[in-house]
Structure 1
Amino acid sequence: MVQYNFKKITVVPPGKDFIDIILSRTQRQTPTVVHKGYAISRIRQFYMRKDHYKLALGQINTARNIIAKISKDYLRLLKYGDSLYRCKCLKVAALGRMCTVVKRISPSLAYLEQIRQHMARLPSIDPNTRTVLICGYPNVGKSSFMNKVTRADVDVQPYAFTTKSLFVGHTDYKYLRYQVIDTPGILDRPFEDRNIIEMCSITALAHLRAAVLFFLDISGSCGYSIAQQAALFHSIKSLFMNKPLVIVCNKTDLQPLEGLSEDDMKLVMEMKAEAMKTITQAVGPNEEGVLLTMSTLTDDGVMAVKNAACERLLEQRVDVKMKSKKMMDCLNRFHVAVPKPRDNKERPVCIPPAVLEARANAAAKEKKKLEKDIENENGGAGVYSASLKKHYILANDEWKEDILPEILDGHNVADFLDPDILVRCEELEREEGLRLEEQAAEDAFQIDGHELTQEQKEILAQIRKKKALLIQEHRMKKRTAESRPIVPRKFDKDRKFTTNRMGRQLSSMGVDPIAAINRARSQSRGRKRERSVSRAAADGDGMEIDGQQSNKKLRRTSRSRSRSRAPEEVIPGEGFKDSEQKKKAIKKAKASTRNRNKDARRGEADRVIPTLKPKHLFSGKRTLGKTSRR
């Protein structure tokens, strides 16, 4: 049985995502592995009456064929590739042509994604299950009836066209599940003048096998007269052919059916006659339950309408199955055996005596009293509260309901309880905390077993306090978004880390900062150009003009320093004895990379994965002997 579930249609990716999928799956392997490429396959076909939808699917099918042809052509070229580098170039060319084809169909892919989203918003209607369809003019009570008989929650408002699409609910009748569909209201006008909302109802009436409930507002509170509603019934009655039909006169709380005028009653009777013709074609002559009355406000007749529609639909489905050839083939396989009397002796129904005795014993046996029975005997819920302690296992059952034993082992328990026990516990905890702090302070002021002076203890305390603050600030930065790499001091715009600041901090702690400041300043380096000038002046090669060296001489010196050396020239510290030994090493290094370069590998990490299962080891029949070589 075909199941239509539009919500399970997979997302249609745009052209850019298709290209990313192709390239990512192709490059996931090593660069030397040759692939056929990615082909779009198994596109799900849907039948719709939109030419744009068919054109989009046609373009995708054409793109798939083009990509398959590109793959076939380049595979033929890959067979004659003389090196892996040539094969890689062919692979790149093939992927480029495939990506160009996919880019051209990007608008079609975007359109198909819009169609998928639109179809996902449609309700999941099963065209083969038992279905009850509700139709009629707007604001006649269709959605109210839907909410009464199903678990659906359709919006109900006192104006027309509140329902703008199909709503699906489910109800049960005789242990069978029925699908109830609420359709938007239909107006009596030409077919070409109806809008999309009305066409939803027309399409459902035309294509679904269902029992139809035509709602009729006999009170006129919907804004349309009975004559207009009757005209609509006669204009769409061709859609009711071969379907169980029930005319439902709604809002009888405002206007009973017996109180209608003669003209309106005549119109209703004519609709009933037309419904009888439709029912005769569907399930045979049956006048009962063709015209029903109800009120969704007072729930009068609501269940009768639902039962009548479900019963008529069930009769029609059973009748269709009984008339089919498949049913006759099944009946020919059954044989019902009916026993025939062998003599004239009467054999009445007999119950064995043992069964009667067991039944009597079971009735005489007292029924076990449950907690619910005890609750009902003592006033019911809210009056009687079940005891949770009655099943406690104690030495004495009298102890079960005790809140706290007063006498234990001959002593009064209350004599051993201090009324200020909580206050005393807090005092003990506070005293223990003070002792722990004193012990920690004593341990903190002792370094390597040597006692410090009072002044050193104060300085050490300040240092540790500062360290604790820095640690706390660092942890707070890690928890927030301020966790960033360390900024070099040359980018320290706020001047947080300076020698002056360090000197002030050391002076406040009673330490002479001169040695630390001089050490920090001595580590700073001069500018590169100044060093080069001073070095040239020391060599005596530079010609000074007014205390400065000539720029021409500086440029000449820098060019001489950057002059390239011969590859075989030995530089001190390289580990070679002479230039001959370095030549041999260079020659061996080139020989080791020759095969790698021929395979078009970028480095040692770009390795070749061989065939893990060679055919000559994993094909053919297995003979006697060991198989460890496999």
Structure 2
Amino acid sequence: MKTSWKDLPPVPTSQEFLDVVLSRTQRRLPTQIRAGFKISRIRKLDTDKDLLNTLYDADHFRIALGQLSTAKHLIETVSRDYVRLLKYAQSLFQCKQLKRAALGRMATITRRLKDPLLYLEQVRQHLGRLPSIDPNTRTLLICGYPNVGKSSFLRSVTRADVDVQPYAFTTKSLFVGHFDYKYLRFQAVDTPGILDHPLEEMNTIEMQSITAIAHLRSAILYFMDLSEQCGYSVDAQIRLFQSIKPLFTNKLVFIVVNKIDIMRPEDLDIEAKGMLQEVLNSGDVELLQLSCTTSEGVMAVRNAACERLIADRVAQKLKAGTSSSGAINSRLGDLLNRIHVARPMDGLQREVFVPDAVKERNKYDRKDPERPKLERDIEEEEGGAGVYNIDLRKNYILDNDNWRHDKIPEIFDGKNVYDFIDPDIEAKLAALEEEEEQLQADGFYRSDESSEDEEDADIRAKAELIREKRQLIQNEAKMKKSLKNRAVIPRKATTKKLSDMKSHLKSLGLNTASTSARARSQSRGRKMVSIHSNREGNAMDMDSPLGSPPEAPLRAEGRTRSQSNRREDGVTATGARSKAEKLAKLGQKRMNRMARQGEADRHTTAALPKHLVSTIFLPPSLGLISQSHSFLANEGWVRLNDGEV
């Protein structure tokens, strides 16, 4: 059967064919294909381009991407050619063969990209391990010779997990750490060590530092080791600073002297000190000192660099908001109009006043034996946290020290208790106690027990009846709540005994003689109707099933329903019924928890019972076919199901 090309599904586009190729070949090269297309879309930022040229061979990278682009063009050409062939195919089988041939050619083209895709996958994995550096945020860039303490400083001010070892070139790539200063987020970048030789002779590790210094907008912290334990002299470190100084243009530069616990700038010889002073006087360079071993000056260096960086960024923004003539543009003007600095109305400058007691107070020294004892020291002496409880009242200033732990309220009914204390309250309390003792001795508080009158007894009896009635109502409500999932008998079908009605009316104080007589006269009983009387009329009025005698509706009409309580049938006592219900719930609890099948659940032993699905084929020669199945006999077979022909 031939199929017209109009009956075929819509012809796929070249992009859809390309997606098919990628999905068919991802078993062989799943990650490499994704790597190539991801890397081809990398944003060409200056920092990324230079870092990419530094870490990898740029020519090799371009060749790999070129081969990938050529393969993509060839696959699109193949798909375009075979789409034309599909339009003029004669049958669906021919379309499938063309599709198979196109996918084979595309897979062959993709298979030839094995080596370029493996290289691009390695590049992608290495790029994924590089740190994420934000070029627009506030940045501190740490550089210098190897083993001068750059990584130690980064670990001291941030949470970056940098490897610190006592040998050179421990850091082989860029590391980034973050910290907060004055509610602002800063990032610190640790660079590998740099040696003093031309850029053409620097290796890949050193070129990473040069790239970061050249492109990142940051404050430069150039670390120096004056003790020369890093293996390089002070003269060599100063020459390295002079050689990379052109990269510090338009940036804040700090010379940070590390390891001051061993050697300070004041301890240098005259020649080294002069060289260092010449570097500091040559430009806007600030000298900072610290020791990562003893943590001396670490936070001071960080805070000083952050303060200068914040001030410099604010100055640059102000400069960008003004024209060459000094006029403020609209954006900066709107910002300055929203800022208001409150000043004294009289124009006087009021200096900060610090009390002399605060000025004379000595700094707290833990090793000083005459230091004031703090609560922390008392806590350690008394057993530590969880054992010692601070006494907040021991420093109360009162007239009597014994009043500190008195259990009296300070505020009562929204008023200060101390404002209402009578100064003669002690004398008045003593006089009141003497008066009470005298009244008790005279027998003033003695009184005979008053006998209960009839009215009080009646009220007490009625209250007891009300309590019992309330308890019965509560119990009945609890039972109804427990039976809420069971079938409820309609109110019309429930029966009320005449004795219950009489007892209820008597409890209300009503006479029940006439009421009970009227109820007996109106109660329905079994009608005494003759079978032969009005047989024809009854037979005409009521429809009876076929085969039933005409007097059956009369018997059904006169028969009363018998009501029974299913909860009380077969149980002699209320306690036994409650115990049986509790045991039934406990027995069902395990099956409910495990979601197992219970006794009440429907169960079929076999999914397909044999007597419902079995079929017996008999030839018509056996003579077991009835007349109604003669049309099946003509075909030569018959089905027997459930023993019926």
TM-score, with length taken from structure 2? 0.45
Higher relative contact order (CA 8 A, sep 6+): 1
* Structure with max Cα Rg: 2
TM-score, with length taken from structure 1? 0.46
